[in-house]
Amino acid sequence: MAKRLSVIDVDRCVGCQACMFACVRRLGQGGLEGACIHVASAGGIRKGFVVIVCRACPNPPCTRVCPTDALLSRQGGGGVRLKADRCIGCGNCAEACPFGAILWDQDQDKPRVCIYCGYCAAYCPYDVIALEEVGSSKGRSSKDTDNIVRET
């Protein structure tokens, strides 16, 4: 069965961005630029944080708007794979994602999408995120970003 990165309990997130650093580090780079997961303030320290990552939609809207089939539905269930050589940098996919989970690589002018490796989850000191099978919903927080739709 296919796996996806899930936000288990966003209330535990302290905004340390260790997951973002780990994501970039898996590529042998440093810093935060290039991460396929994003941690942002939900509006101040009292409101906590939002973890933005691809939700492995069963019928991803980002794939439906790609004119070159650069984003393809992942075999085995939910989520997408990027064929970078096909991408023309139109940005339709980023606009179509209701969660804002298609992050943009300004240097490459192409999307950055989670590949569901789970590397970031291993570095989250508060067990906010985990790699789990598509369709599983164990331990989901009521404040999970599955319920947050990006404002346009």
Residue-wise pLDDT for 45-88, tens only, equals 788 999 999 998 888 999 999 999 999 998 876 689 999 999 99
Residue 140 or residue 7, greater confidence: 7
Strand locations in the chain, DSSP E? 3-7, 38-41, 49-52, 71-73, 80-82, 103-105, 110-112, 129-133
Does residue 24 belong to any structural domain of this protein? yes
Domain region containing 40: 3-55+99-147
Does residue 35 belong to any structural domain of this protein? yes
Which CATH number do you get for residue 113?
Answer: 3.30.70
Determine the residue type at 120.
C
Q: Choose the weakest-confidence range: 40-49, 63-72, 136-145.
A: 136-145
Does residue 72 belong to any structural domain of this protein? no
Instruction: Say what the pTM is.
Output: 0.83
69: its two tokens: 């089939």
Domain count, the chain: 1
Q: Show the DSSP H helices in the chain as ranges.
A: 18-25, 61-64, 92-96, 119-122
Does residue 94 belong to any structural domain of this protein? no
